Amino acid sequence: MFWLLIGSGLSASFRPAGAVNGPDYIAYFYPGIVVLVLLFTSIFATISVVNDRREGFLQSILVAPVPRWRVVMAQALGGTTLALLQGLLLLLLAPTVGIQFGAISILLSIGVMALLAFGLTNLGLLIAWRMESTQGFHAIMNLLLIPIWLLSGAFFPSTGVPGWLAWTMKLNPLTYGLAAFRHSLYFDTTANAFGEGPLWTLSLLITGLFCVLAYVGATLTASVQTN
Amino acid sequence: MLRSENGRQEVSLVVDTEVLHSITTEGFRQPTVSDSRIEVENLSHAYQKRQALDNVSFDVSCGEIFGLLGPNGSGKTTLFRILSTLMPVTSGTVRILGHDLATEVKAIRNLLGVVFQHPGLDAKLTVVENLRHHGHLYGLAGKTLHHRISELLERFGVADRAKERVEILSGGLKRRVEIAKALLHSPRVLLLDEPTSGLDVTARRQLSDYLGTIAQTEDILVLLTTHLLDDAEACDRVGILDAGRLVALGNPDALKAQVAGDVILIESTDNETLGTAIAERFRVSTVFTDNQLRIECKRGHEFVRDVVATFPDEIQTIRFGKPTLEDVFIKLTGNPFVEKKDTEN
């Protein structure tokens, strides 16, 4: 919904730099929306940790002889599954914005989506394991997650923005996740339809690294926060 | 012992004793009494400002049902969280069946079955599915797990509900499934946090019967927390907590015997004046609790007769009874058995 409303509204006044006569804004915005859905589903899947840790199912798991890295891995894979299913639903809409898939492109897109979902779920876990209340979690959401999405190139490309903003976008790990997803969507057709972004290999590399770091971070947090 | 002036010999002697020590403590350790006990020594725990547990020490043996009794905020939840390995030991020592809780958490987790106050079951899954997941967590699988599940469901009288979702079960049935779940991996120690909360009288009595049977037939150590005096009465031994301190420890009957004779409760329009008057006249100590005057004395029936004869107008209600654990609590702490303002966590 969000994507249709904003995308259609802005497409008249906004044309991404470097794609003057290319696809319209709604097509530019499409990968960003998929990433947004992945981001929200992944992170919201982890919110239950906050309450469950104090009262509920998770307590019985915490007193069982199971190492924390396995608990976190299971939680991360659970969140990833949920997010991926949501993402796949949206992926079905891709042809409506003129994206033509080949088999490789589909497989790559799904792969990148899974990677992103896994990294983001772990980011959520990293936060959730520290939180004492769900209110605190929501505060972090607004403070951190919305900005990293806005500044990932999902909403506007980094070309033509002020220097400091361009740098912030360059340092944002989600920029590379989004770029990797964009690349994989258009893998079979022309290389990059929307101006300059991070390279395919670099994007994939950084996204992978982000996954590993987020997972290790989440595991360490879980270990520190529990006995 | 021979003392050598040769430095090298001395060094080798030290190494030898170390080896010897490690053999005696690890290699050939004899089973001792502590292998079937929970031993808590000088356990203290403080949250930022508040002292939740203050120098608590007690022992519990296998085959015994031990109740930790205390009003809300007395520190029993903190103690429970420490024993169940959710929170680390920060001061003092706890040994569970011979394992140090501070250093051997993993070994201890295998020996523990834990029932939390808040439901630890996934309401959207069936009874069997819940138990199966739990079994996997403890490394059980296949036929062994299957048999163990049927056996426990049978014993707790929930076999006919095995395929139903947990959310549609009654509170009493859920609690039984929880206990079946906690016993699935045949733990030696069963810890229960407020197991009777939310249960009606019948379910409560049933539960206490089940626990008694388990403790005796399987030689399991059962430790439960409760703020209900009735529950505590059903335990073999009770530890009473007040403001983080263990104020009493022993068999419920033995504890009640500490209270001299009978307990008399009096209600009147002006408790304070009447209390002073009674104290002067009969030379007994009076305590105010819950708008009541509480008097402890021997030969209570005679005292009641005399006190009613002396103050016929002032006394509105007078009750006379044998001491309960509540009386023990009041005698030891001087406070009524109610929730503290400063709640836990």
How many residues make up chain B in this entry?
345
Is the domain spanning B258-333 CATH 3.30.465.10? The answer is: no
Structure tokens that stand for B197 in this block: 């909360």
Q: Do B138 and A65 touch (CB under 8 A)?
A: yes
Q: Which of B190, B178, B248 is nearest to B223 (CA)?
A: B190
Residue A173, in any domain of the structure = yes
Q: Is B106 on the interface with A (CB under 8 A)?
A: yes
Q: Is B324 on the interface with A (CB under 8 A)?
A: no
Instruction: Say which DSSP state B318 is in.
Output: E
**Phi, psi angles (nearest 5°) of residue A48:** -65, -20
pLDDT at res. B112: 92
Residue A115, in any domain of the structure = yes
Residue A7, in any domain of the structure = no
Domain coverage including residue A72: 23-225
- Partner B, chain A 49-68, Cβ-Cβ below 8 Å: 55-57, 59-66
Residues B292 and B327 sit within 8 Å (Cβ to Cβ): no
Q: Do A66 and B84 touch (CB under 8 A)?
A: no
Q: Is A227 on the interface with B (CB under 8 A)?
A: yes
pLDDT at res. B262: 81
How many Å apart are CA A97 and CA A101, to the nearest integer? 12
pLDDT at res. A197: 62
How many Å apart are CA B232 and CA B230, to the nearest integer? 5
Contacts from A143-151 at CB under 8 Å and sequence distance 24+? A145/A39, A145/A43, A148/A172, A148/A173, A148/A174, A149/A32, A149/A35, A149/A36, A149/A39, A149/A174, A151/A175
Closest residue to A60, CB basis, from B110, B114, B139: B114
The alpha-carbon gap from B294 to the nearest alpha carbon of chain A, in Å, equals: 39
Q: Is B105 on the interface with A (CB under 8 A)?
A: yes
Q: Which residues pair with B224 in a beta bridge?
A: B67, B192
Q: How far is CA B312 from CA B56, B196, B270, in A?
A: 46, 42, 14
Residue A8, in any domain of the structure = no
B128-B131-B132 Cα angle (round to 5) = 85
Strand pairing of B315-321 and B262-268? antiparallel
Instruction: Say which DSSP state B61 is in.
Output: E
How many Å apart are CA B334 and CA B165, to the nearest integer? 47
Residue A177, in any domain of the structure = yes
Q: Which residues pair with B241 in a beta bridge?
A: B246
Instruction: Tell whether pTM > 0.80.
Output: no
The alpha-carbon gap from B33 to the nearest alpha carbon of chain A, in Å, equals: 25
**Ranges of chain B with pLDDT below 50:** 1-28, 340-345
B-chain residues within 8 Å CB-CB of A60?
114, 116, 120, 134, 137, 181
Dump pLDDT digits (tens) for B264-300. Answer: 888 887 777 888 888 888 877 777 776 788 887 777 7
Residue A158, in any domain of the structure = yes
User: Other C-beta atoms within 10 Å of A219: how many?
Assistant: 22
Q: Is B3 on the interface with A (CB under 8 A)?
A: no
Residue A16, in any domain of the structure = no
Residue spans of alpha helices (H) in B185-324: 201-217, 229-233, 252-257, 271-282, 300-310
Q: Do A59 and B86 touch (CB under 8 A)?
A: yes
Nearest CA in chain B to A74: B137
Q: Is A159 on the interface with B (CB under 8 A)?
A: no
A-chain residues within 8 Å CB-CB of B114?
59-60, 63
Closest residue to B85, CB basis, from A56, A57, A227: A227
A53 or B20, higher pLDDT: A53
Confidence of residue A72 (pLDDT cuts 50, 70, 90): very high
pLDDT of A211 above 80: yes
Structural domains of chain A, count: 1
Least confident window among A65-79, A88-102, B82-96, B160-174: A88-102
- Partner A, chain B 151-190, Cβ-Cβ below 8 Å: 181
pLDDT at res. A215: 93
User: Other C-beta atoms within 10 Å of B106: how many?
Assistant: 12
pLDDT at res. B26: 44
Q: Do A55 and B116 touch (CB under 8 A)?
A: yes
> Mean pLDDT throughout A155-174?
79
| Percent of chain A scoring above 70 in pLDDT | 83
Q: Do A57 and B120 touch (CB under 8 A)?
A: yes
Same fold yes or no, B33-252 and B258-333: no
- Which helix (H) or strand (E) covers residue B249, if one does? strand B245-250
Residue A9, in any domain of the structure = no
CATH number for the segment(s) B33-252:
3.40.50.300
Q: Which of B44, B48, B137 is nearest to B94 (CA)?
A: B44
Residues A9 and A24 sit within 8 Å (Cβ to Cβ): no
Dump pLDDT digits (tens) for A11-51. Answer: 544 444 444 444 567 777 788 888 888 998 898 888 888 88
Q: How far is CA A44 from CA A117, A172, A221, in A?
A: 12, 21, 18
Give the domain ranges of chain B.
33-252, 258-333
Q: Which residues pair with B318 in a beta bridge?
A: B266
B-interface mutation test, from A48, A59, A225, most B Cβ less than 10 A away: A59
How many Å apart are CA A46 and CA A52, to the nearest integer? 10
pLDDT at res. B126: 93
Residues B332 and B250 sit within 8 Å (Cβ to Cβ): no
A-interface mutation test, from B45, B118, B166, most A Cβ less than 10 A away: B118
How many Å apart are CA B91 and CA B57, to the nearest integer? 12
Nearest CA in chain B to A66: B137
The alpha-carbon gap from A76 to the nearest alpha carbon of chain B, in Å, equals: 17
